[in-house]
């Protein structure tokens, strides 16, 4: 499968593979946030688009485009702008992306990387046929609260999706007894979890030495044996964009 970015006669937006690391995760006690494998995988699932300039943006709460002021601190092109009004900040992505037939492109904010005073908006672009560029938009959530982006900071995260595939999925509820061994496996895990949490309160216990249960991270079932039904990922080897200066961290 290929993801192509057609350039339009000028340098494209700098992009990099999604890194597993996040500053807020680094600052958690004993970096415990990295024990959550689903967070790590989501962080790496796709590519980040990096801000071309450093700037500070402030919104006065009004609906018009001029209610937002963007102050450029370190120049780069293109500048983000207030295009739609209503506190929406717009990044222009001056490339045309092309995916293979039946595959579209999800564009959202940097995974698990919240920013105070502003929230990323998400969109899905039909890049298997579109000849249009698109924008990445954020909406301010607090008036008179300056928000700063640094040059090289991610402002978007992209990855392929399948719109036709999601329409074919049929959601349903079932009691867990209807899947073989699921009830027993779940209850065994639940007992183990409760016992572990209780032992964490006991000085010198094995649970205190272990600090956390690693079965999911290691792809182990409740019997402490590797799962055989599916592949288990602890990291992703996403391919870099050719010639990119941005390194995966």
Q: Are residues 192 and 123 in the same domain?
A: no
Task: Tell me: cis bond preceding 23? Omega within 30 of 0 counts.
Answer: no
Q: What is the mean pLDDT of residues 202-224?
A: 91
User: How far is residue 56's CA from residue 72's CA, in Å, rounded to a whole number?
Assistant: 7
- Residue 242, in any domain of the structure: no
Confidence of residue 244 (pLDDT cuts 50, 70, 90): confident
- pTM for this one? 0.92
Residue 225 confidence (pLDDT) above 90 = no
> How many domains are there within the chain?
2
**Which CATH number covers residue 162?**
2.70.40.10
Strands 88-93 and 104-108 come out as unpaired
Task: Return phi, psi of residue 52, to 5°.
Answer: -80, -10
Q: Are residues 65 and 93 in the same domain?
A: yes
List, for residues 95-149, the tens digit of each pLDDT value.
999 999 999 999 999 999 999 999 999 999 999 999 999 999 999 999 999 999 9
Q: Are residues 91 and 193 in the same domain?
A: no
User: How far is residue 123's CA from residue 133's CA, in Å, rounded to a whole number?
Assistant: 13
- Residue 230, in any domain of the structure: no
One-letter-per-residue 3-state SS of 50-101: ECCCEEEEEECCCCCHHHEEEEEEECCCCCCECCCCCCEEEEEECCEEEECC
b/e sequence 146-173, b meaning 16+ C-beta within 10 Å: ebebeebebbbbbbbeeeeeeeeeeeee
State residue 249's pLDDT score. Answer: 54
Q: Give, as one character, the DSSP assignment of residue 178.
A: G
State residue 248's pLDDT score. Answer: 57
Q: Are residues 118 and 191 in the same domain?
A: no
Q: 120 is in which domain, residue-wise?
A: 3-167
Q: Are residues 56 and 25 in the same domain?
A: yes
List, for residues 143-166, the tens digit of each pLDDT value.
999 999 999 999 999 999 999 999
Q: What is the mean pLDDT of residues 26-55?
A: 97
DSSP letters along 113-156, please?
--BTTEEE--EEE-TTT----EEEEEEE-STT--EEE-TT-EEE
State residue 109's pLDDT score. Answer: 98
State residue 238's pLDDT score. Answer: 97
User: How far is residue 191's CA from residue 174's CA, in Å, rounded to a whole number?
Assistant: 22
* Percent residues over pLDDT 70 in the chain: 98
Pick from 7, 19, 17, 138: nearest CA to 84: 138
Q: Are residues 60 and 81 in the same domain?
A: yes
- Residue 236, in any domain of the structure: no
- Residue 107, in any domain of the structure: yes
State residue 22's pLDDT score. Answer: 97
State residue 247's pLDDT score. Answer: 60
Pick from 144, 134, 124: nearest CA to 67: 144
Q: Are residues 200 and 143 in the same domain?
A: no
* Percent residues over pLDDT 90 in the chain: 90
Q: Are residues 80 and 194 in the same domain?
A: no
Average predicted confidence (pLDDT) for the chain: 95
Q: Are residues 88 and 200 in the same domain?
A: no
Q: Are residues 75 and 153 in the same domain?
A: yes
Q: Are residues 189 and 161 in the same domain?
A: no
Confidence of residue 229 (pLDDT cuts 50, 70, 90): confident
Confidence of residue 246 (pLDDT cuts 50, 70, 90): low
Confidence of residue 226 (pLDDT cuts 50, 70, 90): confident
């Amino acid at each position: 499968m290929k993801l192509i970015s057609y350039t339009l006669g000028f340098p494209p937006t700098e992009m990099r593979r999604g890194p597993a690391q996040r500053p807020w995760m680094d600052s958690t006690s004993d970096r415990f946030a990295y024990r959550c494998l689903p967070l790590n995988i989501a962080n790496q699932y796709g590519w980040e688009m990096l801000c071309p300039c450093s700037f500070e943006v402030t919104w006065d709460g009004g609906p018009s485009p001029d209610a937002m002021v963007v102050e450029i601190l370190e120049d780069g092109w293109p500048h983000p702008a207030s295009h739609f009004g209503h506190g929406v900040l717009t990044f222009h992505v001056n490339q045309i992306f092309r995916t293979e037939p039946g595959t579209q492109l999800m564009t959202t904010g940097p995974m698990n990387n919240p920013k105070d005073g502003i929230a990323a908006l998400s969109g899905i672009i039909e890049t298997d046929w579109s000849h249009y560029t698109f924008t990445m938009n954020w909406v301010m959530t607090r008036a008179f609260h300056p928000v700063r982006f640094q040059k090289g900071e991610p402002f978007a995260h992209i990855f392929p999706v399948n719109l036709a595939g999601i329409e074919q999925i049929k959601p349903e509820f079932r009691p867990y007894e209807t899947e073989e061994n699921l009830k027993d496996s779940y209850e065994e895990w639940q007992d183990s979890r409760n016992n572990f949490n209780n032992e964490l309160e006991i000085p010198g216990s094995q649970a205190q030495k272990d600090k956390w249960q690693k079965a999911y991270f290691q792809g182990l079932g409740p019997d402490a044996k590797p799962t055989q039904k599916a592949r288990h990922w602890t990291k992703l080897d996403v391919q870099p964009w050719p010639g990119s200066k941005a390194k995966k961290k």
